Amino acid sequence: MSGAGGQTPPSRPSLLILAFSPIAQDARVRKQVALFAPDYDVTTVGYGPAPEGVVAHHEIPADLVAWHKDRLGLILRRYSSVYWGNAVVAHLRTVLPVHAFDAILADDADTVPLALWLRPRAGVHADLHEYAPRENEESRRWRTFVAPYYRWICRTFLPRCASLTTVGAGLAEEYRREFGLEVGVVPNATPFLDTEPTKVHEPIRLVHSGNARRNRNLGLMIDAVVNTSAPVTLDLYLMPNDPAYLAELREQAARTERVHIHDPVPYERLVRTLTDYDVGVFVLPPITFNYLWTLPNKLFDFIQGRLGVIIGPSPEMAALVRRHGLGEVTSDFTAAALTETLDALDADRVRRWKRASHAVARDLSADAGMTGWSEPIRTLLERG
């Protein structure tokens, strides 16, 4: 197509964002698309429909399971055949063009070998959402058979990437310690919402949003609210990751009038929904390395919603909350410790916390932290 005066407009760099997740539900990948689509010709790969702003999208068929790995191959440590024999990887090798993109942003360790196989002209940047070798380490079977597979991916393929990022300093340090990799940090920050803190409700309204996974022990928050003497309610907006566990939580919540479980809210409406609450709550027992060092989207969602925050003593979350006076850190990860914290709640404390969130909302927004992705991609393309 010709531009004004008959001259052909300069072409934009092409960027493939490669994810084995439902992009509409993956806040981190959505932020990558929003960041790069205005300046690059972005193509996406993932489950579900195309996100807004991309020039092309390759939807992974819903019946292909990315996490499935050949058991015999894992037992025999035939890791190359395990990876390339995965149904999603095999499918994408038939539909994605080789050497067709200037750069690839590969999300999570699972996508990295495929991204390198596609041979982008300038190279691959890998964004590691978790510390891959310890993601499900609470399972002995996973530790025995799957963790060595991910260590193989990390040793073999991550050093071939032009640059790497992850979600927090604790995970970055572990990649450096175990594999000698230099990994930048891009927190799971939330886009800035221009709003004001709401008045503290009576009773005080607590909220939690996220995945309904059994290993998160979400029931402890319900127990804590049932047992507190403070005038509080708790609303949970939960994804149906584990329908059986979600049904158990609904049954637990039905025993009290103080707790209500809701269907999940689409991400584009979530933070605005949170503004009608007072305190965001997340106490996550550290049963895995990744859970210990979690610095999740929801913490930044709470800040943009101008909420106070109550969390367990997870090191990175606790440091952020204490540094900015955003709320309270429980003494441990039990329901009793959360009850003790809730017992001390009053409207004045919550009001101070909400003001503190408002004071740092812009500085801790995604808008302020995107250079951790934009700079490596720009550097990669300039070198390429």
In tens, the pLDDT along 267-322 reads: 889 999 999 999 999 999 999 999 999 999 999 999 999 999 999 999 999 999 99
Q: What pLDDT sits at residue 7?
A: 47
48 compared with 11, residue with greater pLDDT: 48
For 262, the enclosing helix (H) or strand (E) is strand 259-262
Q: What is the band of 369 on the pLDDT scale with cuts at 50, 70, 90?
A: confident
pLDDT greater than 90 at residue 165: yes
Token pair for 290: 């990744």
Rounded-to-integer distance, Cα 62 and Cα 127, Å = 23
Q: What pLDDT sits at residue 70?
A: 96
| Dihedral angle sign, alpha carbons of residues 285, 290, 293, 295 | negative
The candidate with the shortest Cα–Cα distance to 113, out of 80, 136, 145, 64, is 80
Peptide bond between residue 203 and the one before it cis (omega within 30 degrees of 0): yes
Q: What pLDDT sits at residue 25?
A: 86
| Dihedral angle sign, alpha carbons of residues 114, 78, 64, 24 | negative
Range 224-233 average pLDDT: 98
Token pair for 270: 């979530």
Class of domain 4-187+368-383: alpha beta
Token pair for 143: 């530790």
Q: What pLDDT sits at residue 10?
A: 56
Range 151-162 average pLDDT: 98
By mean pLDDT, which of 5-9, 137-141, 277-281, 313-317 is the weakest? 5-9
Kindly report, residue by residue over 34-86, the tens digit of the pLDDT.
Answer: 999 999 999 999 999 999 999 999 999 999 999 999 999 999 999 999 999 99
Kindly report, residue by residue over 183-212, the tens digit of the pLDDT.
Answer: 999 999 999 999 999 999 999 999 999 999
Residues 6+ apart with CB under 8 A from 284: 216, 217, 291, 294, 312, 314, 333
Range 351-378 average pLDDT: 94
Domain residue extents for the chain: 4-187+368-383, 204-360
| Residues 149, 110 contacting (CB under 8 angstroms) | no
The candidate with the shortest Cα–Cα distance to 312, out of 290, 291, 338, is 338
User: Tell me, what DSSP letter sits at residue 168?
Assistant: -
Residues 6+ apart with CB under 8 A from 104: 15, 16, 17, 18, 115, 118, 120, 123, 124, 125
Residues 6+ apart with CB under 8 A from 111: 18, 19, 20, 126
Q: What pLDDT sits at residue 368?
A: 80
Rounded-to-integer distance, Cα 342 and Cα 339, Å = 5
Rounded-to-integer distance, Cα 295 and Cα 284, Å = 11
Mean pLDDT, the chain, rounded, equals: 95
Predicted structure pTM score: 0.91
Domain 204-360, CATH homologous superfamily name and number? Glycogen Phosphorylase B; (3.40.50.2000)
Q: What pLDDT sits at residue 2?
A: 29
Residue whose structure tokens are 């925050």: 309
Residues linked to residue 106 through DSSP beta bridges, in sequence order: 18, 126
